Amino acid sequence: MTQDEQKRAAAEAAIKHVPIGCIIGVGTGSTANYFIDELAKIKHKINGAVASSDATAKRLKSHGIEVIDLNNVDDLPVYVDGADEITEHLHMIKGGGGALTREKIVAAVAKKFICITDETKLVNILGNFPLPIEVIPMARSYVAREITLLGGQPALRQNFITDNGNIILDVHNLQILNPVELETKLNQITGIVTNGLFARRAADILLLGTVEGVKTMS
């Protein structure tokens, strides 16, 4: 299986985890897009979806799936999304597509986070993929200095503004041995809206597309 076929297979496998008659949280990115295409096939069995980005909302609507404001949702049993890196402990780096803030909010509300990736995303140590951090524009230089003190090398993502009107710093050269600790430290830096470490709220299940088929990790 190619990388794209692995993503599609993981997305297909996630459909089995979608409860009937519920609202589903939907992530952002190429793997999440495969999931949306699969979700469209069973759209009559769900009550709508909460989108983690404008792009996902647009794709859901194009398939005729109702997009519901998270503020009007009491119960979100499942959130399905991809990741840029994930460990066997199901800690993740996310935000390659720049949607990390809304992704983290929807993941916080959801009872179960189902991560869908191809096998290239499974790593022993997080940090080879630059860690995305969403920052209020006026805090850019201050946050960059604070991140440098933590040992990272921040780079401004060029020509990119998030759905929330903010910038992204992609942080290079981090070997993230303790993701929960680093996520907690980054949460305390004023001016950071969200960091792309999803460790305090890790995934519950990983559906990993591999050359041999989809493996389930939990």
Report the nearest approach of ligand 5RP to the CB of residue 139 (Å): 20
β-pairing, 192-195 vs 131-135, is antiparallel
Q: How many CB atoms lie within 10 A of CB 90?
A: 18
Stretch that binds ligand 5RP, among 23-31, 59-67, 71-79, 139-147 (CB under 6 A): 23-31
95 is in an annotated binding site: yes
Active site residue 103: yes
Nearer to ligand 5RP, 100 or 182 (CB): 100
- Number of DSSP helices (H) and strands (E) in the chain, helices first: 6, 13
Q: How far apart are CA 207 and CA 218, in angstroms?
A: 9
Nearer to ligand 5RP, 28 or 166 (CB): 28
Establish if 23 lies at the interface with ligand 5RP (CB under 6 A): no
- Binding residue count for ligand 5RP, defined by CB under 6 A: 17
Site for ligand 5RP (CB under 6 A): which residue of 28, 101, 166, 195? 28
97 is in an annotated binding site: yes
List the structure tokens of 214: 């989809």
Q: How far apart are CA 82 and CA 89, in angstroms?
A: 15
Query: Phi and psi at residue 163, in whole multiples of 5°?
Result: -60, -20
List the structure tokens of 29: 């990115």
Establish if 31 lies at the interface with ligand 5RP (CB under 6 A): yes
Instruction: Supply the angle between the helices 3-14 and 30-41 in degrees, to the nearest 10.
Output: 40
Window 63-122: residues binding ligand 5RP (CB under 6 A): 81-84, 94-100, 103
Task: Using the structure block, give the residue that is written with the tokens 């604070």.
Answer: 146
Establish if 179 lies at the interface with ligand 5RP (CB under 6 A): no
> What does the binding site for ligand 5RP look like in residue numbers (CB under 6 A)?
27-31, 81-84, 94-100, 103
The residues that are catalytic are 103
- The binding site for substrate consists of 28-31, 81-84, 94-97, 121
